[in-house]
Amino acid sequence: MAEAKITSLDVARRAGVSQSAVSRVFSGASASQATVKKVRKAAEELGYRPNILARAMITGKSRIIGLVVAYLDNQFYPIALERLSNALQNEGYHILVFMAPNAEDSVDRVMEELLDYQVDGIVTASVAISNDLTARCAAAGIPVVMFNRGQDGESISSVTSANYRGGYKVAEFLVSAGHQHIAHIAGWEGSSTGRDRHRGFADGLAAHGLEPLTVVEGRYDRDLAAEATLKLMSRATPPDAIFVANDHMAFAVLDALRNRLGLKVPEDVAVIGYDDVPLAAWDAYDLSTVRQPVNRMVDATVETILGKIGDPDRPAQKIEIDGPLILRGTTRNPEGRT
């Protein structure tokens, strides 16, 4: 005969506390350290595991946040997702990660699955969702926050770096360093981040009476960025500086310039990336780049999604966080600037 299933009431009796105290401990709600210690000890001795799905059916809250990400090749996203996961887990939430190719039908299909899991909220990282699905999430009472991607309209919250301002800073710096033939290997025009960085860069050059030597869509792909670099440097008038829309592509640009073309950086051509992932500071790359303030972006995302879960009527927020231009060895400094 099968053994009787251990219940929270059994744990409460063993620990000498109320059944509601056991529920508070395993739901992450407020409980004293003494109570937590007694309940955890009793649960371990009895072999008790809480039934999270059953609790979700009773309370209507799963304590699960869905994370949807398009790809992890870009070194920025594993770092950001790790910190997002840790921050949400510290708030007592479980994390459900789904990968979704950055195409509307794929993203919508994944989002539909998350709705079936009755998640309390959804964070999307560098993916866009359709307006129809945005409305469905709202109707289901499931808040959505977009991380490192914006979307037109006022119905959905987003947290990004100040991408337009970042692109503008790059243009101002390169002009002040004496560059005249400045190319841009852009991201993907289907993403708000790529469009905003491109637009800020173009406007920054225009403020000095210049325009990009050429703009190539790199689609955040290393191979496309390397191929674009070879074509750029074979022009009759090659660029004397290249602004690359993220570090992931910029590393490929540097490899192509140094290893395939035998050029010196920044003597022959300067390079600036965007993100400031840890690899950018390694001696092998020493990449000048615009820093995405990932910690502040994560904090803002967690505060926004939890705030919306706690108050469904809270208005959507569009949060932009400015990050500095980090100067390293792939650029030459204007006179008097360090």
* The pLDDT of residue 131: 74
Alpha-carbon distance of 218 to 246, in angstroms, equals: 10
- Say whether pLDDT at 275 is over 50: yes
Amino acid (one-letter) located at 193: T
Q: How many CB atoms lie within 10 A of CB 75?
A: 17
Tens of pLDDT along 14-61? 999 998 888 888 776 678 889 999 999 998 888 887 766 556 545 556
Average pLDDT over residues 316-338: 88
Tens of pLDDT along 62-98? 788 999 888 788 899 999 999 999 999 888 888 888 8
Q: Bridge partners of 99?
A: 69
Alpha-carbon distance of 312 to 242, in angstroms, equals: 45
Average pLDDT over residues 102-109: 70
* The pLDDT of residue 71: 77
* The pLDDT of residue 183: 98
* The pLDDT of residue 112: 80
Give the pairing of strands 215-217 and 182-186. Answer: parallel
What does the angle CA 45 – CA 46 – CA 50 come to, to the nearest 5 degrees? 115
Q: How does DSSP assign 126-154, residue by residue?
A: S----HHHHHHHHHTT--EEEES---SSS
Tens of pLDDT along 152-175? 777 889 999 999 999 999 999 999
Alpha-carbon distance of 319 to 309, in angstroms, equals: 18
More confident residue, 306 or 118: 306
Tens of pLDDT along 143-152? 999 999 888 7
Tens of pLDDT along 253-272? 999 999 999 999 999 999 99
How far CA 70 is from CA of 74, 97, 106, 110, 310, in Å, comes to 10, 11, 10, 11, 28
- Say whether pLDDT at 115 is over 90: no
Q: Which range has the worst mean pLDDT, 156-160, 187-191, 239-243?
A: 187-191
Count the helix, strand and coil residues of the chain and give each as a percent rounded to the nearest 5: 45, 15, 40
* The pLDDT of residue 127: 77
- Say whether pLDDT at 2 is over 50: no
Q: Which two tokens stand for residue 191?
A: 């993403």
Mean pLDDT score across all residues of the chain: 89
Average pLDDT over residues 190-202: 94
Alpha-carbon distance of 14 to 29, in angstroms, equals: 20
Alpha-carbon distance of 149 to 220, in angstroms, equals: 14
Counting every residue, how long is the chain?
338
With tokens 């987003």, the residue in question is 158
* The pLDDT of residue 234: 97
Alpha helices in the chain (DSSP H): 8-15, 19-27, 33-46, 52-59, 76-90, 104-116, 131-139, 163-176, 192-206, 222-233, 247-255, 294-310
